[in-house]
Chain A
Amino acid sequence: MSERLQRFRKMMAAFEGAADPAKALEQGYYVHAPGKLLVDQIVNRIALRPASSHLLVGGIGTGKTTQLLMAQRQLQEIEDIAAYYLDVSTYTDIRNLKPGLLIAILGMELCGFLTESEKAPFQQEIVAIEQSAYGYPSSRSEEQLLRNLITPWNEGLLTMKPSFTGQNILEEAVCKIWKFCSEDYSIKYVFIFDGLDRSQDLKCFSELIRSDLQFMTSIGMGVILVGPSAFLYSMPKNDDRDLTDNLYYQPCFDVERDIESHKFFSNVLRTRLLNVDFIDQKAIDKLILYSGGVLRDLIKLAETSVEEVYASGDDALEIRHIEKAAYGLGRNKLFGISELELDLLRKSIENNQFAIGSPESISLVTSGRVLEYRYPGTRYAVHPVLRAQLQASVKAA
């Protein structure tokens, strides 16, 4: 393998952590931005009151998973706290959100904490948890089965078609095992549930956290949860905001208007750049501008720009490589867009205004085509790579 190919692969490897935030943390690429990230607030609040619930919502690629993993690390450093990270989407298809789902997952994890001898007195509870998760045979009479009054196998919470009705039994079982696990009251447990931000059924999501979060905090557990950003815009009732003790929103970073955000993004890039001669400040500024303040887009643009340098036979990253990468990202964001959404985007670019409220406007924000900033002021902006595409197509026309 040539030295050139090796060098470029190494450079790209520094950016590929966007695929796996845990890997990026392990490789030391995490950049802390005091006051800019919510992880500090969450950790400090849990440190003060471990048995509390925290819901984090935010746009795609804004760094939620990274912050959750960082929260786990920071909580683990607190002497009397044990924190566990779980990705719900690895347990089940989250389309099947139903009250009790998180309790079932929690129950399965708690069962995993027990040694074989410790499991002995909890056989009934363990069976109840497993059946709640994966299904159980019906206990109805044969006559009723023959009449097809009910399906013979009741699906569990983690299976494809949950028709679970035994939440009380599940809660009792989890409560018993939890009490045993947390017997040593000097340790406070915190569970971090990731993956629910991909849920599209907001009503089911509401019901889930109303039921499961309240149970978990009532037994003395701390919970951090990620939810869909659309939840923020579509909360049907005011009391949905009270479903958790704390609700956090991770907006995009306003890299155009907030110098600290710009510095943060610059540090994110410089931490991963192995060779400082490879890229100059102008190119860094261009990458930051085109990212729109979305962390994943920054990493992806940088990674693809490095690939462009290699593919074109060059040795240093220049603006033209970034333009090509930005074009690809812009094209990605144009796919699958409806005529109404396109119209909204064009009007927003023309009038420099965007109002959120209609289903199309919410869709544009939750899909990352329009970016929401909260600091230094609330504003919405068409993603820069999309703006460039749309403006170019207007010129061409």
Chain B
Amino acid sequence: MIYPVSADELLQRITSQPEDGNIWLVIITPTQDHEDLVNDLYDTLGIFIEGSIDALSGSRGLDSLLEALNRSEASYSILAGFKSWGASDWQKLDRLRSRLMRRRGACMILDNYESNLLFRNAPNLASWIGPRVYPFTYGTELLTEEEQQSRLQSFQQWSGQTDAEVIALAETQSLPSDPEYGEWLVLLGRGDLIER
């Protein structure tokens, strides 16, 4: 059994987390997709969650990242750029885990090699992350026509509303901020109506 997540599911998971939960997760995806994923998450999370978001890089080393995390007032951080990190960097992050406090939390975007380094050398951090390790592949968010219809039906059942009613609410900026509505509008081809 493999449970890759789609972008929508990632969004749902992060938005379902409590606002001051300090919940961290790991997204595993090939290195070539890291930049796109950081940008996509930054844009979409910014719409759906309360509080500010920042995207921080580990490319300048651990001390620099820790400093950036301490200075940042964002409630959620997207972290990537761990290519240059070796075992000793992850070991140090593990020792300094008490300093990793984000109001809402953070996601770390890693490839397979970087994940292996983290889980080998940072057992305390790994324990803290727990089950929240999600493989992600671009393209898995594309549903078939049948899957899209099924998804739309489940939204209609959940809310008791029709597609037309949801569009009308979105046009008058009266739509609740639940992430389900965002996905609903995207499936209807009306992603243009998504706003904070």
Q: Do residues B98 and A332 form an inter-chain contact, with CB atoms below 8 A? A: no
Pick from A87, A329, A335: contact of B131, CB below 8 A: A329
Q: Check if A174 is an interface residue, CB within 8 A of chain B.
A: no
Complex formed: what's the CA distance from A20 to B94 in Å? 15
Which of the segments A5-13, A103-111, A203-211 contacts the partner chain? Answer: A5-13
How big is the B interface, by class? 35 or more
Number of A-B contacts (CB under 8 A): 133
Q: Check if B60 is an interface residue, CB within 8 A of chain A.
A: no
A8: B residues at CB distance < 8 A: 16
Q: Do residues B131 and A328 form an inter-chain contact, with CB atoms below 8 A? A: yes
Chain B's closest residue to A11 (CB) is: B18
B17: A residues at CB distance < 8 A: 9, 12, 16, 307
Q: Check if A325 is an interface residue, CB within 8 A of chain B.
A: yes
Complex formed: what's the CA distance from A335 to B98 in Å? 23
Chain B's closest residue to A200 (CB) is: B91
Contact with B along A93-104 (1 / 0, CB 8 A): 111000000000
Pick from B15, B92, B115, B124: contact of A335, CB below 8 A: B115
Complex formed: what's the CA distance from A225 to B178 in Å? 46
How big is the A interface, by class? 35 or more
Q: Do residues A19 and B23 form an inter-chain contact, with CB atoms below 8 A? A: yes
Q: Check if B149 is an interface residue, CB within 8 A of chain A.
A: no
A60: B residues at CB distance < 8 A: 123-124, 127
A213-233 at interface with B (beta carbon < 8 Å)? none
Pick from A13, A297, A313, A324: contact of B130, CB below 8 A: A297
Pick from A332, A336, A366, A368: contact of B129, CB below 8 A: A332
Pick from A16, A20, A335: contact of B18, CB below 8 A: A16
Q: Check if A18 is an interface residue, CB within 8 A of chain B.
A: yes
Residues A16 and B95 in contact in the complex (CB < 8 Å), given A301-B130, A310-B16, A311-B16: no
B19-58 at interface with A (beta carbon < 8 Å)? 19-23
A287-313 at interface with B (beta carbon < 8 Å)? 296-297, 300-301, 303-304, 307, 310-311, 313
- Other contacts beyond A60-B124, A95-B92, A336-B121: 15, CB < 8 A: A1-B176, A9-B17, A10-B18, A16-B21, A18-B130, A19-B128, A303-B23, A307-B13, A313-B154, A327-B3, A328-B131, A328-B132, A329-B131, A332-B133, A336-B115
- Contacts from A to B (Cβ < 8 Å): 1-2, 4-5, 8-10, 12-13, 16, 18-20, 60-61, 87, 89-90, 93-95, 195, 198-200, 296-297, 300-301, 303-304, 307, 310-311, 313, 324-329, 331-333, 335-337, 366-368, 392
CB<8 Å pairs between A and B, sample of 22: A1-B178, A2-B176, A5-B178, A9-B18, A18-B130, A19-B22, A60-B123, A61-B127, A89-B96, A89-B97, A93-B96, A198-B95, A300-B131, A301-B130, A307-B13, A313-B154, A328-B130, A332-B133, A335-B115, A336-B120, A337-B120, A367-B123
